[in-house]
Structure formats: C-alpha cells, structure tokens
Amino acid sequence: MSGIRSLRRASQGDKSHIWNGTSTPHTRRRTSVARNIFVEELVHTPIEEQGDEIVERKGIGHPDSIADGLAETVSVALCKMYKERFGRILHHNTDQVEVVGGQSAPKFGGGVFLEPAYILLVGRATTMVNGVRLPYRTVAIQAAHDYLTKTCTNLNVDADVTLDCKIGQGSVDLRGLYDTQKQLANDTSFGVGFAPFSELETVTLKTEHLINGPLKKDLKEVGQDIKVMGVRHHDDIRLTVAAAFVDRYVPDKDHYRSVIEELRERLLDNAVKYTDRTVKVDINTGDNYDAGIFYLTVTGLSWENGDDGSVGRGNRVSGLITPYRPMSMEAAAGKNPVTHVGKLYNLLSFDIAERLVKEHEGKVKEVWVRIVSQIGKPIDEPQAAAAQIIPEKGTSLKSIQKDAEALIDEELENIYKLTERIMQGKARTF
C-alpha cells in the first residue's frame, strides 16, 4: 500500500516558501516570484526493498535510439547555426524522426545490403529571417549523416541509407511565444525524475555502455544494436541481451558461439562491480543453432531487415525504460533546448532528484520529482515543482524540508543554464 503524506505545501497562496537568504546554506535571496514548490513525504516501499523489478535499455544502435539520436543531433546543429548567424537560438522542434528499415542478406563471412533504409527528418524550424531563407535542410541532412557515420561504424551511410528532410516552418503562435525572448513555456507539459538509481538500473545501463564502449576494441563482431532487459526477483538478477552480430567478422557458427560465451563472461564480470546480488546473463535467446538461426546482420543494426524506429518510443532521459518508477512519456530528444518544458523539466527533475540524494546523504533513501508547466508562463515558474521524499530511518522530513525547498528553488532559478549544457552534448536525452 502506498500513499503520500503531506507535511507542508509552499504554494502561490502560501508565501512561507519565499526566503530572505539568511536561514540555511541552500537559501538564496528571492524575489516575490512564486515557484509553487511542494515537498512531501512519500509513503512507499523503496525500489530496492520491493520483490520484483524490470528495467530496459535500448542501445545507441536500436532503431528507436537512432531516431532519438538523429532528432537531438539535428536540433543541436540548428541551434549552432542560429547562434552563429543571429546570436541566439531561434524556434524549432525536430522531435519527429522516422527510421524505416531496409533489407539485407547476411551470412557468415559477410553478406550484402539489398535495399537502403529510409530516414525521414520531420519537425518545425525558423526557416527564414528578414526575407532570407536559411539552409536549415542542408544543415539537418549533414548533421544526420555525420551522426550515423560516427555512431554506426559498420554502416556505409552513402550507400545504405536514404536521408530525407521535410522540416518545415513552425506554428505562428508558438513562434510568437518563442520570439518574445522571455523564455516562456511553449507547451503545457510535465517532467519526471527520480534518484538514486537502483542496482538493477545501474547494471542494465552499464551493460549497454560496456558493449557499445570499451568492448568494441576486443569484440568487433558485436554491432551497435543492443537491447538489455533486466529482471530482478528478490536478490536474483537476470539480464537478457539482444546483440546484433556483424557477419563479416564471424566466419562460422563456432566462432559465433565463442563470441557469445566471451561476451557473457565480460558482462558478468562487469555486473558484479555494481551489485552483490546473483546475476545471470542470457544472450540472443532467439537463436537456434540446429535450425541455422543466428542474430547476424551486415551492419550490426537490426534496421537492415525491416525493423523500424521512432522518436520517443525508447529510453527516457534517464537512459532507461523503468516501469517500476514514475515516468513521463514525453519525447525529449529534438525539442528546442530553450523553452520546451517537455525537455527541460525532464532533465531538471533528474538534476533535482540527484542533488537531493547527494546533498542529504544518509538522510534521503529515495526521491521522486515532478515539475509541470503552463504554456505561456516563464519556464522558471512552474504550476508545481513537487518533490516526494522517502527519508532514511531515523530522519524526519521536517529536518530537511527547507533545504530541499531551497534547492529546488535554486535549480529552477538556474534552469536557463540547461540550454548550454544540452548544446554541448552534456545532457542525456535518451
């Protein structure tokens, strides 16, 4: 049984959440702006104490992750073009990307690509300024091409992919809000964050990071299209890994089998760094060696044989899909990094949750954060910024509440700094 017990609500009608900068290390001098900050005790079984847990991570080469990565890359490229030409980021949202799978004929020792995959870049952007048309489609296509070349190292982008761009002019109303330069929310939306990561969440994320990171030097047979499903039942963890193999590096089924075993051992060695629970790893469970069924691809990507992808169908901004946690269905990748709260509030929610845990170490067991906007209102003045905290045993919420409220207020005040972090590629959106 779970529920929320409210200790105190700082709202627009309750000015007790406005500080004068004299009471605690986290407080700051405030204006009369009401940020509607709520801090409550969460009466809920912490994730590590629950009997079961499920976590999923779609790797960087999964079709849905490719769509997310392209959307975000195109947005950043447009941001840079706008800043170079006009000194500020103009209105755009490039969060609509479709990946349509192609066809291939993989085989041990190397197969062939038969039909290219098709990628459609869709969204809205400022396409003309003072009567001068901008090269936004050229910028978008080049950014997408560069991202695929860097991310999908076994892919011949020029031959195996058809890139199409249908980004068009944005809504007059939304651009009107954006062009005020007052940084007003251009959507009524919410963001969700939590901290800390559970052991299963950490293991699942680190497993994919290892495969698509350091392991590539030793196991070039394994492509970028990876999916990791983590399931925990009490203290038993099972990781099911789908890993697309690159056929030209795999001469026969014996070599395929040996790589599977080596990969399993490497993943087990990695997992025990993050948990003392029992861990089992299963890889490519759809294989049937006797029937000649192997997860072979020409490029290390499942999209070459019909698998498709879309923005927002994959990982949340945590980098994971976490059905046992609060989640937003918002597709953050590709949304503008200046006023789109669907992006900013999701990122900020995790920043707040992580700081609350880190700065109250030993006092906070778990935190959930939710922030909701109202279109046309300043992005640092949400309708509600709510933190729900499970205190550690022996800690009362009242003892940390004012610090928590001040921290949230500070993060909202500095929300504008997120834009630069996003442009520098330092903020994870998928």
Q: Are the C-beta atoms of residues 137 and 148 closer than 8 Å to each other?
A: no
Q: What is the pLDDT of residue 145?
A: 98
Q: Of 203, 206, 199, 271, whose CA–CA distance to 49 is shortest?
A: 199
Instruction: Judge whether 309 and 303 are in contact, CB under 8 Å.
Output: yes
Q: What are phi and psi of 87, to 5 degrees?
A: 80, 0
Domain boundaries, the chain: 3-49+188-197+326-423, 63-178, 198-310
Domain 3-49+188-197+326-423 has CATH 3.30.300.280: yes
CA distances in angstroms from 66 to 172, 234, 301, listed in the order given: 30, 34, 10
Q: Give just the sign of the alpha carbon dihedral 175, 181, 187, 191.
A: positive
The CATH class of the 198-310 domain is alpha beta
Q: What is the pLDDT of residue 182?
A: 74
Residue 24 and residue 285: Cα distance in Å, rounded?
55
Closest CA to 321 of 207, 243, 230: 230
Same fold, 3-49+188-197+326-423 and 198-310: yes
- The pTM score is 0.89
DSSP reduced 3-state for 378: strand
Tell me phi and psi for residue 83, to 5 degrees.
-65, -40
**What is the three-class DSSP state of 93?**
strand
Angstrom distance (rounded) from CA 387 to CA 12: 16
Tell which CATH architecture fits domain 63-178. Answer: 2-Layer Sandwich (3.30)
Local confidence pLDDT in tens for the 430 residues of the chain: 344 333 333 333 333 332 223 223 333 333 446 799 999 999 999 999 999 999 999 999 999 999 999 999 999 999 999 999 988 899 999 999 999 999 999 999 999 999 999 999 999 999 988 888 899 999 999 999 999 999 999 999 999 999 999 999 865 455 666 665 678 998 999 999 999 999 999 999 999 999 999 999 999 999 999 999 999 999 999 999 999 999 999 999 999 999 999 999 999 999 999 999 999 999 999 999 999 999 999 999 999 988 999 999 999 999 999 999 999 999 999 999 999 999 999 999 999 999 999 999 999 999 999 999 999 999 999 999 999 999 999 999 999 999 999 999 999 999 999 999 999 999 999 9
Vertex 139: Cα angle to 136 and 141 (nearest 5): 110
